[in-house]
Each structure stands twice: as C-alpha cells, then as structure tokens.
Amino acid sequence: MLIGVSALAVIDTPSPGRELDPTRLGDHLDRLYRAAVGLCGSHADAEDLVQETFVAVLRRPRLLRSDDDIGYLLRVLRNTFYSRYRAESRRPRIADLGEHEELPEPRPGVAPEAMVASREVLAAVAALPEPYREAVAAVDLAGLSYREAARALDTREGTIMSRLHRGRSQVAKSLGYTS
C-alpha cells in the first residue's frame, strides 16, 4: 500500500518544540549562578555572566526541543562564558586588580570560617581543567542530574561521571583532603 506524500510529511516532520517562557527564567537563577561561580571563580564575574546569559536568551524567542529549560540555559551560560573568555584573552591586561576587589558583605548567620572554606572550594573548582570544571559546575553547583549535565554539555552520562570523579578528586587534593 502506498502512503501519500502528505502522510509522509506528517510522519517525518519532527515536533517543533515549545517556546522558552521568559517569565520563568528567574526560577533557574540560583542554579545558573552557582554554575557561573564554578566557571568564573568570582562572584562578581558570575553575576555578570548570568546577566549576559539572560540578555542573550531574551534577545529573541527560543524554541526548545524538550522540557529541559535548565539544560538549555546552562549551554547558553557556558557558550557565553567561553565567548567572553576568548574576547578578553585578545585584550591586553594593564593591571590585575584582584587584591583590590571589595569583599561581599557577610550574610547573617554565616560563620567566617565557612565563607573562607567556600571561597577555597570555589577557587579550586575554577582552577580545574575545562572539562572537569564544567562537569563539577553542572552537577555539584547547578544541581543538574548526570543526564541533564550530559545533555547540557553535549556528552555522555558516563563521561560526566568520569569527569566529575576526576574533578572532585583534584579539588579534594588541592584542598589537602587526600594525598
């Protein structure tokens, strides 16, 4: 039996997906910020990166193939980070003002020791090689599942697990928890 051309078009046409709801972007702010801190190693740079990510996403309507908003947003965050990194690497640096940065105001109820430990961990994550840093930022900081992280980073779940294990081991070693 022959199938008509119009019937084949319906069978072969992938679903167009759904549009990303801009009003729901705030729901993902905390997870994206944690991932951005892991990528950048600085709270100020992470805030800028999340803002740039939202600006890029809001420029035009975005069609998603699945219900995975956070995975899509994490990919945009990562691409924005590397675009900015490439642009900054082309500009000459006149002076490093790292020692002159203002410290954020301490949050009430947070012990100074915990803040120092948190900064040390984030600095260790930021110092990881790129694939390990991305996996740790996606899973441990943004809270993605292995499947979501694999989709966001365009790799396999097994690769995420391996990179996560190696990244965590390097962080622990740099903090002096293992030998």
Could you tell me if 20 and 59 are in contact, meaning their C-beta atoms sit under 8 angstroms apart?
A: no
Q: In the chain, what's the furthest Cα-to-Cα distance?
A: 77
- pLDDT at site 58: 86
pLDDT of residue 163: 93
DSSP the chain: -PPPHHHHHHHHSPP--EE--GGGGGGGHHHHHHHHHHHHS-HHHHHHHHHHHHHHHHTS--EESSS-HHHHHHHHHHHHHHHHHHHHHHSPP----GGGPPPPPPPTT--HHHHHHHHHHHHHHHTS-HHHHHHHIIIIIS---HHHHHHHTTS-HHHHHHHHHHHHHHHHHHTTS--
What class, spelled out in words, does domain 20-96+111-174 have in CATH?
Answer: mainly alpha
The full set of domain ranges for the chain reads: 20-96+111-174
Confidence at residue 39, expressed as pLDDT on a 0 to 100 scale:
86
What is the model's pTM? 0.55
- How far, in Å, are 44, 111, 118 from residue 102 at the CA level? 10, 19, 17
Short-list 170, 92, 94, CA closest to 130:
170
Mean pLDDT by 10 residues, the chain (179 residues): 46 60 83 88 88 87 78 87 75 58 59 74 88 90 89 92 94 83
